[in-house]
Amino acid sequence: MDFVENVRKLFTYVLRWTAISAQYPSLIGAVCLLSPYTQYGNRFREGHLWIIVFLPFCGYFISYLYDRYGQALMVGTI
């Protein structure tokens, strides 16, 4: 095969998978936009701003728990 044919095949491959993968975010975005739970979540977040402040601390706490007690879970994994 020559160079031009390889480039054409690669371009076709990339274009096909781009078209396929572009459909899913559009579908998921439309479902989320129309979902009443999204509106409820936004109102709850705006009414409870303290949650945003404590999210990093919760993340650190969960990381600590995994580090402290998760060693038995690591057996047999790479």
User: Which residues have a Cβ under 8 Å from the Cβ of 32 and sit 6 or more positions away?
Assistant: 38
Q: What pLDDT was estimated at residue 17?
A: 92
CB 32 within 8 A of CB 38: yes
pLDDT of residue 61: 95
Domain ranges of the chain: 3-74
CA 74 to chain CA mean position, Å: 24
Average the pLDDT over 41-53 and give the result.
87
Please report which confidence band the pLDDT of residue 72 belongs to, taking 50, 70 and 90 as the band edges. low
Torsion of CA 27, 29, 33, 37, to 10 degrees: 100
> What is the Cα–Cα distance from 4 to 34, expressed in whole angstroms?
46
Whether the predicted model's global pTM rises above the 0.85 cut: no
pLDDT in tens, 2-37: 999 999 999 999 999 999 888 888 888 888 777 888
